[in-house]
Amino acid sequence: MSRTSTLTHASQGISQPALPSPVQLEPLRDERKHNGSFLDTPPLDEADPIPSDTSPETVSREDSIESHFRGTWHEITFILVVIMAQLFSQMNLGNTIIQAASIADTFRIGEVQESWFVASYSTTVGAFVLVTGRLGDIYGIKTLWMIGWTWLAVFSLLCGFCGYVQSAVLFDVFRALMGIGPATLMPNASALLGTAFPPGFKKNLAFAIFGAVAPGGYVLGLTWGAIFTQIAEDWRWTYWSMTFLCLTMTFAAWLVIPSELNVSHGGSFDWLGSLVGISGLVLIFFAFKYGAVYIPTLLVVGLLLIVLFVLIENRTEDPVMPMSMFTKPAFAAVIVSLACGWMSFGMFQYYEPQFLMRLRGISMMELCLQLIPCAACGAFAAATAVYLLPRVPAWTVFLASMCFFCISQILLALTPVNQSYWPMTFPLTVLVSIGPDLSFASASLIVSDQVSRKQQGAAGSFINTVVNYSIGLGLAFGGNIEVSTNDHGRDTLKGYRSAWWLGAGFAGLGVVLTILSRKKMQRHKQE
């Protein structure tokens, strides 16, 4: 369940991507002072202290800021429309995972190539979200948000028509380009919520709902794909129906989102750095996805482009990614650990549905029912993160998330084929859903404590890049180890288990790095 970070809010003039963690970090500021770490986001009026949510100052401020809504019903409708970005981003992951075998049959390709359908989408979301938030700052957040819906509609339509041309390569390309849509939607959806509401209950509730719908979006996507593939027996309508829904959301956005929320701050955009950075990430993904044949060339070129990206960002006045962030004590450790955890999570997202359908022989609709706990427990984990982070050190929550990642991968690798749902599959669907929300929320807070105010938006975008890119990169590693261990497709179970043990190794590395870096993660925020 790919995610987006909320480190700052749009009232600061910095757009921030929002992941399915409900943490609205800036209200935690006062609550975290007891453990020496707080999120130092500037109040609306720097000259005055932040008032409590029930003070007259806050009430009058909310009245003035929320005057663009015509009433409570308008506020509710606005929130429902904006959180659809989160829901649809996850739906477009789940709807393809569940019908990957049917799509592969249409294109007459082998099982080992099916992970491309998912990995290409996640990788593009991760690579492009680094820049789309900045574009929203320059050209208007509502404008970019509506462009994201339109883009997603167009490439959903084209993915469906690939069934006629029977080209797996073209389908992979369109799936990758489809990912630019959610990459545009997510940071600007978060910016819309941040702009619409001042600090207080409504803002916290809006972001909590935004985070809580992500696990449900993944399960709903599985169900959506199952309806058209198993019942209607035509996977193409999964994408054509998404086209209609996306166009509907474009119209709803135009109708519901007040024009005064189309905030733009102007400024320049680092086109060269963005192009070089995205190209480097894409080539590195291709290198590992294709395996040993292409690694020497693509990997070297990709790494060289990343080095060039660093040089460009150090010389640019308005960089997409300020390199000074990487000099902070715990920044690199958190990012690497986060990547390890989410690479392991990608192994669950893709291989668990394949295990249940191919080896246990359950239907697509049965699969959707068995994974319903993911939606419920993911939402519960999001709420738990909101409760815990003001009360305990963030690194302990982050460490717990890495443990949940690791334990769930071990359970996956040890689950017998000829076993009922309840002994192991049910517990692992509960455990695996807790790690993502805890890890994202706690990592967001730790990173926010490490970087300066002006770097909050860039740090948030980078966390989202790490989360989504890691899912694709993890599937690249997992696909390679699956192919090398499944005896040329004759031992499917061994291939799946090899991928899960790799995921357990990634998550275990995240646990070790977190323990070793725990003291650095408690440092005060850098100004």
| pLDDT tens-place string over residues 225-259 | 999 999 999 999 999 999 999 999 999 999 999 99
CATH number of the domain where residue 413 is located: 1.20.1250.20
| Backbone angle region of 13, left / alpha / beta, with phi > 0 → left and psi within -120 to 50 → alpha | left
Q: Are both 376 and 311 inside the same structural domain?
A: no
Whether residue 376 sits in one domain with residue 274: no
Residues 343 and 198 in one domain: no
Is 39 contained in some domain? Answer: no
Do 131 and 73 belong to one domain?
yes
**Structural domain of 241:** 69-266
pLDDT < 70: residue spans in the chain: 1-66, 291-295, 523-527
Distance CA 448, CA 457 (A): 9
Contacts with 30 (C-beta within 8 Å, 6 or more apart), sequence order: 38, 50
At residue 22, the pLDDT reads: 37
How many Å apart are CA 198 and CA 44, to the nearest integer? 8
Under DSSP, the state recorded for 8 is S
Same-domain status, 460 and 338:
yes
pLDDT at 61: 43
Looking at the fold, whether 390 and 503 belong to one and the same domain comes out as: yes
Domain termination residue (choose one: 300, 317, 334): 317
pLDDT in tens, 85-139: 999 999 999 999 999 999 999 999 988 889 999 999 999 999 998 889 889 888 9
* Number of domains forming the structure of the chain: 3
What burial letters (b/e) apply to 149-171, b meaning 16+ CB within 10 Å?
bbbbbbbbbbbbebbeeeebeeb
One-letter-per-residue 3-state SS of 178-241: HCHHHHHHHHHHHHHHHHHCCCCHHHHHHHHHHHHHHHHHHHHHHHHHHHHHHHCCCCHHHHHH
| Chain centre to alpha carbon of residue 196 | 22
Dmax (CA) for the chain in angstroms is: 70
233 & 338 share domain: no
Which pair of structure tokens corresponds to residue 101? Answer: 């075998």
Q: Which of 475, 519, 522, 464 is nearest to 499 (CA)?
A: 475
Of 225, 450, 227, the closest CA to residue 329 belongs to 450
Task: Decide if 91 is inside a domain.
Answer: yes
Rounded distance, CA 248 to CA 508, Å?
A: 43
pLDDT score recorded for residue 290: 75
Q: Write phi, then psi, for 199 (nearest 5 degrees).
A: -55, 135
Asked if residue 511 is part of any domain, the answer here is yes
| Strand, helix or coil for residue 469 | helix
